[in-house]
Amino acid sequence: MQWWCVFPASEYGDTLGPLKLAEPEKSFFSKRNIVQIGSLVINNSYFLSFLKFCPTPSLNCYACPWANFACPIGSLQHFMVIERIPYFLIGFFVLVGALFGRMVCGWFCPAGWFQDLLYKLRTPKIRFTSKILNKLGFVNLVLVAMLIPYLTKEHWFSKICFMGLLEGGIPLALSDPEVRMLIGTFFYVKIAITVFFLSLAVFIKRPFCRFFCPLGAVYSLFNRVSLVRLEVSEGCIQCNRCQEVCPMDIKIYEDPNSLQCIRCLACASCAFVEVKVGGRSRGVTGKSS
Amino acid sequence: MKIPYFLIAAAGGLLLLGVFREETLDILLNAVVVCFSCIGIW
């Protein structure tokens, strides 16, 4: 089931719905934005590059000249190529998933932050939801990041990942003339893939995270059992303001621990949405009443 | 299950197993060699 709706950006005002939510997404200096920028800096600040034996929880290209950590999906593909079971990596996924679920996508992923920024551009927006396309991340995980690399001995997800071009390809090509000499047709194919995802992100909320990201698919499996969870109380009047502020376009009252929820906590500023950490309530500043 | 103790313990076990099998070294070696075809330069 899918539906489309075009609406102007100005509809993201305060007047929608009877509840006035706090405005976690509007300011560039919102708590989440600052954490996301911090994550981008920590992931790519070069000075911690001795930690490259350890994967980062988020999608961050380790081909970036300044990357400090390994890309978890890149590492997963590597283990598929060398035909070994990645116990360390599975343990890492389980640990991060058990603690945070998809909160990593909402707070720490540079790819997600970049799409959030693009969506803030003042253009008409397209609301697009699809339960079938939501499963594409799992298909990508099993096929493109695991099975096909195992069979072909090539890192196929890396070849289509736009972060590879943004953080690795472009900086390396700009900084090294010898690398520039090596540029071939595939570079332009990759530019086309990147332009496709980035332009989509201007009009649709986080298209890559929602429909393509294999890492998000991994963490989504833990959303229902992770330490951080959401709860919607019975008084919810389903005004859909939660969907308006949600970067993943979710109606949180339908399923508070939906596989798609990235725990950005934008909806938690509503009086009926509660954040639970280990079963205990945690307050969110600016909550409406 | 309010706190996923079992998952955290399982993750700890897998991480240790991975360290003993020197998988972190594999990750490091893979990470320091830039794959040009992966970043689009071919």
Residue A287: pLDDT band by 50, 70, 90 thresholds?
A: low
Closest approach of B33 to chain A, Cα-based (Å): 8
Task: Kindly report, residue by residue over A178-208, the tens digit of the pLDDT.
Answer: 888 888 888 888 899 999 999 999 999 999 9
What is the structure's pLDDT at A27? Answer: 64
Q: Which residue of B has its CA nearest to A187?
A: B40
Q: Cα A44 to the chain's mean position, in Å?
A: 17
Residue A36: pLDDT band by 50, 70, 90 thresholds?
A: very high
Helix axes B5-20, A87-100, angle to 10 degrees: 160
Task: Kindly report, residue by residue over A55-71, the tens digit of the pLDDT.
Answer: 999 998 888 888 999 99
Residue A28: pLDDT band by 50, 70, 90 thresholds?
A: low
- Measure the CA–CA gap between A282 and A261, rounded to whole angstroms: 18
Residue (of A246, A234, A200) closest to A16 by Cα position: A246
One-letter amino acid of A216:
G
What is the structure's pLDDT at A19? Answer: 47
Question: Quick check: B9 contacting A, CB < 8 Å?
Answer: no
pLDDT (average), residues A102-125: 94
Q: Which residues of B21-36 are buried (b: 16+ CB within 10 A; e: fewer)?
A: eebbebbbebbeebbb
Share of chain A above pLDDT 90, in %: 60
Contact call for A78 and B30, based on CB within 8 A: yes
- Predicted ipTM of the assembly: 0.90
What is the structure's pLDDT at A7? Answer: 43
Residue with tokens 């196929």: A156
Residue with tokens 């932050």: A113
- Other beta carbons within 10 angstroms of residue A276's beta carbon come to 16
In the numeric block, which tokens belong to residue A109? Answer: 């992923």
How many domains, in total, are found in chain B? 1
DSSP-derived letter for residue A144 is: I
Domain spans in chain A, listed from the N-terminal domain onward? 22-225
Give me the domain span that covers residue B5.
Answer: 1-42
One-letter amino acid of B25:
L
Q: Is pLDDT at A18 greater than 50 in this prediction?
A: no
In the numeric block, which tokens belong to residue A141? Answer: 């995980």
Contacts of A63 in chain B (CB under 8 A): 34-35, 38-39
- Of the listed ranges A10-24, A97-111, B10-24, the least confidently predicted one is A10-24
Q: Is pLDDT at A41 greater than 70 in this prediction?
A: yes
Minimum-distance CB partner of A54 among B7, B21, B24: B24
